[in-house]
């Protein structure tokens, strides 16, 4: 983070400023070379001097452009790395959120589908050959969801 801040606040603005200064310097070199060539009695020597100044000036500008371009690329690499880390964090958060939502949905679905079903059977009530003084009741209580029954209970009640 400190490296990115240094690039953004110091190195890139300084490189841009150096390029703007070199633009001004190139204009002055061009004016000097032009007036030197016009006023010089030895045109060949003035032309060679102009070539040397031009070569040095363009090499200086190329160096400044290269330095600034490297700083910009370094800044972009750092920002791309930060974006990859953020993307990874967001994907992780999304996965956790999906897992929690899925779990909550399944729990809610299980709770919504959980039904307490009670089946009552009267033993001996439908069998007239059995003379029972009292009718017994068998109650089956089941709590089930889609997949399985998680609780079964039997009760034998005396219905006298």
Q: Which residue has the higher pLDDT, 36 or 1?
A: 36
* Between residues 19 and 137, the one the model is more confident about: 19
Return the DSSP state at 78. H
The burial of 62, by beta-carbon neighbours within 10 Å (0-12 exposed, 13-18 middle, 19 or more buried), is given as exposed
- Asked if 80 and 126 sit in the same domain, the reply is no
Print burial letters for 20-35: b (CB count within 10 Å at least 16), e (below 16).
eebeeebeebeeebee
Q: Are residues 12 and 75 in the same domain?
A: yes
Partnered with residue 137 across adjacent β-strands are 122, 157
Strands (E), the chain: 115-123, 135-144, 149-159
pLDDT tens digits, 90-117: 888 888 877 776 766 666 555 544 444 4
Q: Are residues 145 and 86 in the same domain?
A: no
> Is 33 in the same domain as 99?
yes
pTM beyond 0.85? no
- Give the range of the structural domain holding residue 62, as residue numbers without chain letter: 2-110
CB 18 within 8 Å of CB 71: no
Overall domain count for the chain: 2
Model pLDDT, residue 129: 56
| Same domain membership, residue 119 and residue 88 | no
State pLDDT tens for residues 141-158.
Answer: 555 555 555 555 555 555
């Amino acid at each position: 983070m400190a490296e990115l801040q240094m690039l953004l606040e110091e190195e890139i603005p300084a490189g841009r400023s150096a390029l703007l200064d070199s633009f001004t310097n190139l204009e002055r070199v061009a004016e000097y070379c032009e007036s030197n060539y016009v006023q010089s009695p030895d045109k060949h020597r003035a032309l060679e001097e102009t070539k040397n100044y031009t070569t040095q000036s363009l090499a200086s500008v190329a160096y400044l452009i290269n330095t600034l371009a490297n700083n910009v690329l370094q800044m972009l690499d750092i920002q791309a790395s930060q974006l990859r880390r953020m993307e990874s964090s967001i994907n992780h958060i999304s996965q956790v959120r999906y897992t929690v939502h899925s779990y909550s949905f399944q729990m809610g679905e299980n709770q919504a589908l959980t039904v307490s079903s009670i089946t009552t059977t009267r033993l001996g009530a439908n069998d007239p050959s059995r003379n029972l003084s009292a009718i017994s009741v068998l109650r089956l209580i089941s709590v089930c969801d889609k997949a399985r029954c998680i609780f079964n209970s039997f009760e034998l009640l005396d219905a006298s």
